[in-house]
Amino acid sequence: MLKYLVKRLFEMIPTLLGITIISFFIIHLAPGKPTDVFSELNPKITPEARERLEKYYGLDKPVIVQYGLWLKRVVQFDFGESFSTDRRPVMQKIWDKKQPVTERKLFITFMLNLFEMVIIFLVAIPIGIFSATHRDSLYDRIATVSVFIGFAIPSFWLALLLMMLFGVYLDWLPVSGLKSMNYDSLSLGPKLLDRLRHLILPVFVASFGGLAGLSRYMRSSMLEVIRQDYVTVARAKGLPEKIVIYRHAFRNALLPLITLLGLSVPGLIGGSVIFENIFGIPGMGQLFYNGVMGRDYPLIMGILTIGAILTLIGNLLADIGYMLADPRIRAK
Amino acid sequence: MKKILVVVLLMFFAVACKGKSSSLEQRVSGGADNEIAYGDAVVEGTIGEPTILIPMLASDSASHNVSGLIFNGLVKYDTDLSVIGDLAESWDISKDGLVITFHLRKGVKWADGVEFSADDVMFGYKTIIDEKTPSAYKEDFLQVKKAEVLDKYTFRVTYEKPFAPALTTWGSLIILPKHLLEGKDITKTEFARNPIGLGPYKLSKWVPDQELILESYKDYFEGRPYIDRYIYKRIPDPATMFLMLRTGEIDTMGLTPLQFTKQTETDYFRKNFNKYRYPAFQYTHMAFNLKHPFFKDKRVRQAIAHAIDKSELVDVVLFGLGSPATGPYVPNTWPYNPDVKKYEYNLEKARQLLKEAGWEYANGDGLLHKDGRPFKFTILTNTGNKLRENTATIIQWRLAKIGIKVEIRKLEWSTFVNQFIDKKRFEAVILGWSISLDPDQYDIWHSSKTREKELNFISFSNPEVDELLEKGRRTFDIEGRKKAYFRIQEILAEEVPYIFLYVPDATPIVSARIKGIKPSPIGISYNLPKWYVPKKLQRNTLEP
């Protein structure tokens, strides 16, 4: 087991290197430069000034040299400084130590995604099981249609309608942002409440769209398990249906979900741009999008690298989870 | 599941019947007392967030807006676009226009209590011309031959050649506190995100990507601003921002034409908000590649000008919130020449001109042909600008009427500029220029500015315009400059290198509780320190 783990960890290094090389070169293939934002079609910029700027950002060197320099810094866990005019370190943009933890970009996105994921799992799994055990019944059909509506509704549209209903007409919930104007003057209890009130709409909209995938997955996995011999045996033994389903079938049907969980690890730090824009959530999605639009190479590479590492770790965790949960795989 | 469906239905209901008015606590009592008072906070919704608060390093409008409240310049523009003193009480310009001597205001203090002096101006000047400072505004200051501090309150600059825009460059870009920044690397310093200025407001708190809170500077040299706090709230989505305006979470924002003409035309908005409207300092145009065989002939360009209905563009694209453009200046400003040749919408004239230029209908495909080539061309524009896209579509439809087939292609900004504009690989483009308050447009029209990356990308070349541009930037006398720029506009109108389409209006909206706003040709925010909220209407009290 330990040997296997070490081997897997070492295998991750060339994969990671490959990912960063490909990302780095593809980013540089895109036309344009970080300096474009203020040097293009700007009457105040002369060719000399443009050259000075490019030199300042180290863009005058060949791409391969730029990659080398980048790699050298990254092995020391330094993602460099952002190319945007503020020149802040990339790490500071993602995880600003000067702000309270709750204001740091990575934390905001992570918390939101975690809430969303927990809710999706809590709601989708029962829907899936119920649909499977009541296959083709009216309930199954309603559930199926509902989750697909959730899947098909554009989230920005649903978000705007909910904002109008709860924010403007009923005035129950705040329209956007993460906290109220008077947040700083509140004590701890009301502070938490204020945060929660701001989270209700975004978390609802995000989870509503995510129910379909998982509940359908759960349904088919459950259907497959129910057809297995050991379930027939359990039924033949005369066990009550509840025990057959929840003790025998359910646990086996959960196995494929381990893979899904593993795959969703990198998703925890990735945010959706449209979604974050609508709700005014200052998270990773916006940061990444602005980085791409501004050709902010260090920032893009920083976020991509963190994402790649998490993906690889997620895969590894999923495999380990499988080994722990399923004796058949452990034996191999 | 059922619950969710119910909610969805409810939503339609609520939207359909428009519900009750919001619970915005607008404490407007009948005879509201309009006395000037200190206090309250104004919240502005903004899409972009500032990146850096050192004016000379900033390149985006959000950064300049915020730093403009924190720093002042030696001079500034008055509401009639004349130049008046700011930190400089007065100045003398030598007869030959080469030497400007600024006499600074005495007793002005930086927010940390240190007195402002000519050394600060010198420091800012030295910083901006420094090789290591990545400033986009360097060029104006590289024209300076010599700068000297004569005494604590006197600063003198000498230019190589007379340079008319020189005076206005000494605005808020270059004033920096020497005592805080000397010997530091300006690109790395904390100061960029935590500046000490001498303007009406100072930075109090900045949560990146969420909000930026400015607090009034009580010892501001023109008197303490009335509004205690000015808050920028970052809301990246325009639709969300509008909803927040509706719920009262923000007090002011810029409206889109649709919001201005339709969505805010309700009793609620009329009662609680004031809308303002004035021409923005920019114009949208269609530029021809003058090297392209189709557009070499002046008559073809004139014909196209006759085939485009500018007032239609203003009505449809801008919902009437703008005015047709006739040249590269904003109407009602001093360089603007109202009496240039105008191209009224007239298809007959357009056809006539095209015929003279040798374009004839042939082979029955409905298109004009010349030398066997059909008249087809592509208009390029950048993605993400709905107004330009709509403009292109209308022009496409109009030109089809005179037998010209237009394709529209939208490109992402960097690609657009690097691959097409710079390499002159285009036939026509729709773009806009922001206009500086000084009329010097040497870089856009002078025939020497046609190399790659330069701004005369359409390859316009006219010896008389070259001469006039040169004259305009070397003449200090406003009447003399006016003559030069008037003539330039006449030539541009005759030659049609661009079709000047429209000047859009800026359309801000501000909560009605905020008083003291005086709209002017340069907008509304120039007298922000004098805005106030009468005591009875104050909403956001100061929190500990």
Chain-centre distance of CA B279, in angstroms?
Answer: 10
Taking CA atoms, what residue in A is nearest to B414? A32
pLDDT interval class at B527 (50, 70, 90): very high
Domain annotation covers residue B3: no
Q: Do A164 and B540 touch (CB under 8 A)?
A: no
Domain annotation covers residue B409: yes
Q: What is the pLDDT of residue B403?
A: 92
In this structure, the answer to whether residues B462 and B318 fall within a common structural domain is yes
In this structure, the answer to whether residues B363 and B461 fall within a common structural domain is yes
For residue B232, the SS3 value is strand
In this structure, the answer to whether residues B438 and B317 fall within a common structural domain is yes
- % of residues, chain B, pLDDT over 90: 59
In this structure, the answer to whether residues B319 and B465 fall within a common structural domain is yes
Q: Do A175 and B249 touch (CB under 8 A)?
A: yes
Q: Establish if A104 touches chain B: CB-CB under 8 angstroms.
A: no
In this structure, the answer to whether residues B313 and B186 fall within a common structural domain is no
Taking CA atoms, what residue in B is nearest to A57? B134
In this structure, the answer to whether residues B176 and B291 fall within a common structural domain is no
Q: Establish if A144 touches chain B: CB-CB under 8 angstroms.
A: no
ipTM entry: 0.75
In this structure, the answer to whether residues B291 and B178 fall within a common structural domain is no
Structure tokens at B220: 């501001």
Taking CA atoms, what residue in B is nearest to A284? B209
End position of a domain, from candidates B192, B221, B241:
B192
Taking CA atoms, what residue in B is nearest to A143? B1
Distance CA B253, CA B467 (A): 43
Q: What is the pLDDT of residue B29?
A: 39
Q: Establish if A101 touches chain B: CB-CB under 8 angstroms.
A: no
User: What mean pLDDT is predicted for residues B154-175?
Assistant: 88
pLDDT surpasses 70 at B169: yes
User: What mean pLDDT is predicted for residues B184-203?
Assistant: 89
Q: What is the pLDDT of residue B317?
A: 93
pLDDT surpasses 60 at B26: no
For residue B3, the SS3 value is helix
Of A146, A168, A276, the CB nearest to B243: A168
pLDDT interval class at A42 (50, 70, 90): low
Domain annotation covers residue B392: yes
Tell me the pLDDT tens digit for each residue of A291-324.
887 788 899 999 999 888 888 888 888 888 888 8
User: Pick the residue with more confidence: B220 or B6?
Assistant: B220
pLDDT surpasses 90 at B95: no
The DSSP letter of residue B161 is S
In this structure, the answer to whether residues B187 and B318 fall within a common structural domain is no
CB neighbours of B6 closer than 8 A, spacing ≥ 6? none
pLDDT surpasses 90 at A254: no
Tell me the pLDDT tens digit for each residue of B369-380.
998 889 999 999
Taking CA atoms, what residue in A is nearest to B141? A44
Q: What is the pLDDT of residue B174?
A: 87
Q: A174 vs chain B: nearest CA distance in angstroms?
A: 9
pLDDT surpasses 90 at A101: no
Q: Do A87 and B5 touch (CB under 8 A)?
A: no
The CA radius of gyration of chain A, in Å to the nearest whole number, is 25
A33 contacts in B (CB within 8 Å)? Answer: 414, 418
Domain annotation covers residue B336: yes
In this structure, the answer to whether residues B297 and B395 fall within a common structural domain is yes
Q: Which amino acid is at A202?
A: P
Domain annotation covers residue B249: no
Distance CA B77, CA B61 (A): 18
Tell me the pLDDT tens digit for each residue of B305-361.
999 999 999 999 999 999 999 999 988 888 999 999 999 999 999 999 999 999 998
Distance CA B426, CA B416 (A): 10
Q: B368 vs chain A: nearest CA distance in angstroms?
A: 34
Tell me the pLDDT tens digit for each residue of A166-224.
988 888 888 888 888 777 778 888 888 888 899 999 999 989 888 888 899 999 999 99
Q: Do A170 and B234 touch (CB under 8 A)?
A: no
Domain annotation covers residue B5: no
User: What mean pLDDT is predicted for residues B236-241?
Assistant: 87
Q: Do B235 and A177 touch (CB under 8 A)?
A: yes
Q: Do B247 and A40 touch (CB under 8 A)?
A: no
Distance CA B95, CA B477 (A): 11
Q: Do B239 and A279 touch (CB under 8 A)?
A: no
Q: How many domains does chain B have?
A: 2
User: Pick the residue with more confidence: B468 or B174?
Assistant: B468
Q: Establish if A100 touches chain B: CB-CB under 8 angstroms.
A: no
pLDDT interval class at A43 (50, 70, 90): low
A178 contacts in B (CB within 8 Å)? Answer: 210
Q: Establish if A171 touches chain B: CB-CB under 8 angstroms.
A: yes
Q: What is the pLDDT of residue B19?
A: 32
User: What mean pLDDT is predicted for residues A136-150?
Assistant: 91
Q: A301 vs chain B: nearest CA distance in angstroms?
A: 19
B431 contacts in A (CB within 8 Å)? Answer: 41
Domain annotation covers residue B19: no
Instruction: Give the residue numbers spanning the domain of B183.
Output: 53-192
Q: Do A175 and B247 touch (CB under 8 A)?
A: yes
pLDDT surpasses 60 at B28: no
B188 contacts in A (CB within 8 Å)? Answer: 87
Q: Do B139 and A45 touch (CB under 8 A)?
A: yes
Q: B134 vs chain A: nearest CA distance in angstroms?
A: 6
Is the Cβ–Cβ distance between B249 and B25 less than 8 Å?
no
Is the Cβ–Cβ distance between B84 and B97 less than 8 Å?
no
In this structure, the answer to whether residues B466 and B355 fall within a common structural domain is yes
In this structure, the answer to whether residues B286 and B186 fall within a common structural domain is no
pLDDT surpasses 70 at A146: yes
pLDDT interval class at A122 (50, 70, 90): very high
What count of CB pairs under 8 Å joins A to B?
168
End position of a domain, from candidates B192, B215, B249:
B192
Taking CA atoms, what residue in B is nearest to A178? B210
Highest mean pLDDT among B60-64, B374-378, B413-417: B374-378
Q: Do A277 and B5 touch (CB under 8 A)?
A: no
Return the CATH number at B372: 3.10.105.10
User: What mean pLDDT is predicted for residues B486-509?
Assistant: 95
Reported pTM: 0.80
Chain-centre distance of CA A39, in angstroms?
Answer: 34
Q: B208 vs chain A: nearest CA distance in angstroms?
A: 8
Q: Do B243 and A47 touch (CB under 8 A)?
A: no
Q: Do A278 and B240 touch (CB under 8 A)?
A: yes
pLDDT interval class at B544 (50, 70, 90): very low
pLDDT surpasses 90 at B207: no
Q: What is the pLDDT of residue B287?
A: 95
B209 contacts in A (CB within 8 Å)? Answer: 105, 282, 286-287
CB contacts under 8 A, A 209-248 vs B, are none
End position of a domain, from candidates B157, B192, B227:
B192
pLDDT surpasses 80 at B67: yes
Distance CA B193, CA B63 (A): 10
Tell me the pLDDT tens digit for each residue of B114-145.
999 999 999 999 999 988 888 778 878 888 99
Q: What is the dihedral of CA A186, A187, A188, A192, to 10 degrees?
A: -30
Q: What is the pLDDT of residue B312?
A: 95
In this structure, the answer to whether residues B182 and B294 fall within a common structural domain is no
Q: Do A170 and B60 touch (CB under 8 A)?
A: no
Return the CATH number at B184: 3.90.76.10
Q: Establish if A255 touches chain B: CB-CB under 8 angstroms.
A: no
Of B51, B243, B413, the CB nearest to A163: B243
Domain annotation covers residue B474: yes
Distance CA B328, CA B331 (A): 10
Of A86, A184, A287, the CB nearest to B193: A86
pLDDT interval class at A47 (50, 70, 90): confident
**Nearest CA-CA partner of A157 in A74, A67, A274:** A274
